[in-house]
Structures are given as structure tokens and as C-alpha cells.
Amino acid sequence: EAQVTQNPRYLITVTGKKLTVTCSQNMNHEYMSWYRQDPGLGLRQIYYSMNVEVTDKGDVPEGYKVSRKEKRNFPLILESPSPNQTSLYFCASTRGANTEAFFGQGTRLTVV
Amino acid sequence: GESVGLHLPTLSVQEGDNSIINCAYSNSASDYFIWYKQESGKGPQFIIDIRSNMDKRQGQRVTVLLNKTVKHLSLQIAATQPGDSAVYFCAERENNDMRFGAGTRLTVKP
């Protein structure tokens, strides 16, 4: 089954404690991206990657890092999480520029 | 900055009626548009897309209309069912930049 898998689904952490949210896709898609979803703001892109070792900032990259060492994985790293990063995060993958994105199930992160 | 938005944040329809969800976009360079459905506790799911060289596209029970003159996108759902209750997002894409609207919550009354 074609899918995008994120882990964990839920996470509560404390300010400043580094964390990683993993994302994996089994569709051999080149393009992957991370979004955060906040009430009234919709989905905002954090980072995206067009291929292995190629990443670029989205609209809200501050406080986040990503890596793309292999095609299927695109982890999101919060080196020093802060409460304003409490949000619902989605990873997505796309076959090409003008095709639909497949989304993971989401990771609800709470930073206290 | 340029943005994608929605005319109505909520929409309530009777089961069996047709639903129309609207979206305004402002980036005239966008060449690809998508509608997503998001059910509670799940990630967005693709419904239908349309490219800027088209003005209408039909799927199963859904139709997307694109009016480039007024930068307006709509999603029509025929014979709305309880399973259609969800938040619907429009998205526009220019090259690698995809932007989403805030979403419209559709509630279907039995």
C-alpha cells in the first residue's frame, strides 16, 4: 500500500529538549515536504526537498532542520523546541511538481 | 503577500443536497490547483486537481471549477453524504511552492 508514515503520532516534550519526527514514503517520490497546521492558519510549509541532499526553506523554517540522506526518509528536527512550535505536523510526498501530495497521518506535538 | 483563502469557514448542508465550497487565490502565476479533504485525526487526502489550462474537471461526485479571470476555485460535491463531512482545503502551486487555504468545514445534516 502506498503511504507516508510519520512517527510518533503524539509527542509531549519540554522546552529545549531536542526531538526528531520521522517521515518515510514507499512510493519512490522525489519531492517531500513538511507542514505545520495551526487553527485559522491552514497548512504552512516548513521545509521541502526536491531530491536526495537537496532541501530548501518553506514559509516557516525558523527553529526547524531537515535532512534528506536517502530518498524515502525526510526527518524533521527540532534542535531546541519552544512552546510556539506546539502544532500538528504533516509530512507529504509528491511524484512531481504538478501532481498531488500524499500526506502522512500527522504528528501532534506539544512543547511545555 | 499573496495568499490562498476561502470565502466561508463553515458550510452546513442537508444530506442529498449539492455542496459548493469556494476558494479565492491571488497568485496569478499558479498553474496547478488541488482540493484536499481532511477528516478528523487524519492527514489531508487528495480529492481532485485541475491545471490552469482547464476551467472544469469532473470526478466521481465532485467537480472543480477554475475561473482564472477572477482567481476563483470551487469544489462542487453532488448528493452530499454524511461521509463527506470534513474540512476541505484548496491549494495552489507555482513550481515547488504550494500554498493552502485555511479550510472550510463541511457538515452534512441527516
Sequence-distant (6+) residues with CB within 8 A of B67 are B55, B73
| Residue B3 pLDDT class (50, 70, 90 cuts) | very low
**Amino acid at site A75:** P
The three three-digit cell numbers of residue A3, written as one number: 503511504
- Flag whether pLDDT at A53 surpasses 60: yes
Query: Tens digit of pLDDT for each residue in B11-45?
Result: 999 999 999 999 998 888 999 999 999 998 899 99
Q: Does B55 touch chain A (CB under 8 A)?
A: no
- Distance between CA A27 and CA A93 in Å, rounded? 8
- Flag whether pLDDT at B6 surpasses 60: no
**Amino acid at site B71:** K
Query: Tens digit of pLDDT for each residue in A60-70?
Result: 999 999 999 99
Q: Does B10 touch chain A (CB under 8 A)?
A: no
CA distance A54 to chain B (A): 13
Inter-chain touch A103–B102, beta carbons under 8 Å: no
CA count, 13 A, side-chain hemisphere, B26:
7
Query: Tens digit of pLDDT for each residue in A62-105?
Result: 999 999 999 999 999 999 999 999 999 999 999 876 788 899 99
Inter-chain touch A100–B51, beta carbons under 8 Å: no
> In Å, how far are A17, A31, B32 from A53, measured between CA atoms?
26, 11, 26
